[in-house]
Amino acid sequence: MPILHEKISTVILAAGVGKRMKSKIPKVLHRVLGKPIISFVRDLARDIGSSQIILVVNTKSDEISELIGNEVTYAIQAEPLGSGDAAKKGLANAKYENTLILCGDVPLLRKETILALIEYHLQQKADATLLTCELDNPYGYGRIIRNEDGYVVNIIEECDATAEQRQIREINAGVYYGKTPLLSAALDGITTDNKQGEYYLTDAIRNIVSLRKRVAAYTTSSASEIIGVNTQEHLTQICALVKDQWYAHLKRRGVNIEDPVTIDIDLSVKIGDGAQIKHHSLIEGDTVIRAGETVGPYVWIKNGKKSGLNKYATGGSR
C-alpha cells in the first residue's frame, strides 16, 4: 500500500448534534468498546500521515476539545447550516495544497481504503475524488451520477432524487479528496436550494464539474466500513462489528474468550497471550490482564479494579 508523498490537510466534520440519537451526549462522543467515535476518525487521519487535522465542531464542543486536546486545529460552525457550510469552515483553515474531508461519525473506515483512494486520484489525474460503495439497499444515501466516461457529474440526495435515480445502487460514502483551492471555490458556489434548505457538501461536486474539472470515484467493496452513526441502532451495529474484529485479533494471540456473547472487553484493555476470559466478564478502561491469567466468570473490572467478584473470579490486576 502506498504512503503519502505530500503534505495534506484533513478536515473532519463533527459539528452535528445527532438528534436521532435521542441522547444528551454529542453524537461523536458515543463509545464503541470504550473508545469515542471521533477518536476512531482522528486516529485514521493521523495514521494516513495527515500533516494537519482540522476538526469542525459546534459552539458546544467543550467535551470534544477536552478529549482530543490541542493536537488538531478547531474550526467552529456556529449555526447548523449543513455539511457544505461545515466543510467550508474547515477548508478555511487548510494549509496544504490537497485536502481530505471525512465525517466524524464514520468510525470504521480503514487506512488502506483512504490511501487507495488517494492513489487512485493520482492515477486518474483527477481534480477531486470521492469514495463510493454499491449497496443492495441504498435508501437514505446520496446517489452517484456518472457520465458515459465513468466520471462523476453529480450526487443526488435521497430526498431530492427522482424515482429513477433512487434505483441507482452506487452511493456517496462522504469522503472527498482534492485540491484545496478547488474545493473551497466549489463550496463558495453552493446554495440552499433544496428540500432541506441546507448547504449540501455534495453540491460542490456539481460545481467542480461545471468548471470542467474531472471528478473520479474510488469504490470500496466493504459496505461495513462506511456505516455512519446516526441512531442507537447504528451504534449497536458498529459495536458488534468492532467486537468481532477485536476478539478475532485476541484469539489469534491465544486469548481464550469463552463466550463472546456475554463478554465485553474495551479496546483499551491490554491482554497477555494465552489469557482466559470466562463467561459474563466485563473488562473496561485502563486494565491489564497478564499472560496466561484467568478472569471470571461474573466479574467486572474497570481501570484494574475488581467489582462484582465471586469465588471463581481471578486476575485482572494491573
Hey, what's the cell of 191? 446554495
- Helix H, strand E, coil C: the string for the chain is CCCCCCCEEEEEECCCCCHHHCCCCCHHHCEECCEEHHHHHHHHHHHCCCCEEEEEECCCCHHHHHHHHHHCEEEECCCCCCHHHHHHHHHCCCCCCEEEEEECCCCCCCHHHHHHHHHHHHHCCCCEEEEEEECCCCCCCCEEEECCCCCEEEEECHHHCCCCHHHCCEEEEEEEEEEHHHHHHHHHCCCCCCCCCCCCCCHHHHHHHHCCCCEEEEEECCHHHHCCCCCHHHHHHHHHHHHHHHHHHHHHCCCEECCHHHEEECCCCEECCCCEECCCEEEECCCEECCCCEECCCEEEECCEEECCCCCCCCCCC
Question: Could you give the residue range(s) of every CATH 2.160.10.10 domain in the chain?
Answer: 253-318
Instruction: Among 3.30.70.1170, 3.40.50.740, 3.40.50.1000, 3.90.550.10, name the CATH number for the domain at 8-226.
Output: 3.90.550.10
Task: Give the tens place of pLDDT for each residue, 105-162.
Answer: 999 999 999 999 999 999 999 999 999 999 999 998 999 999 999 999 999 999 889 9
The residue type of 234 is H
Quote the pLDDT of residue 298.
Answer: 93
Q: Is 20 a catalytic residue?
A: yes
Quote the pLDDT of residue 16.
Answer: 86
State the CATH class of domain 253-318: mainly beta
Question: Could you give the residue range(s) of every CATH 3.90.550.10 domain in the chain?
Answer: 8-226
Quote the pLDDT of residue 308.
Answer: 53
| Tens-digit pLDDT string for the chain (318 aa) | 445 778 999 999 999 877 888 888 999 999 999 999 999 999 999 999 999 999 999 988 899 999 999 999 999 999 989 999 999 999 999 999 999 999 999 999 999 999 999 999 999 999 999 999 999 999 989 999 999 999 999 999 998 899 999 999 999 999 999 999 999 999 999 999 888 889 999 999 999 999 999 999 999 999 999 999 999 999 999 999 999 999 999 999 999 999 999 999 999 999 999 999 999 999 999 999 999 999 999 999 999 988 754 444 444 443
Active-site pick, 20, 146, 214, 290: 20
Q: Which residues pair with 130 in a beta bridge?
A: 176, 217
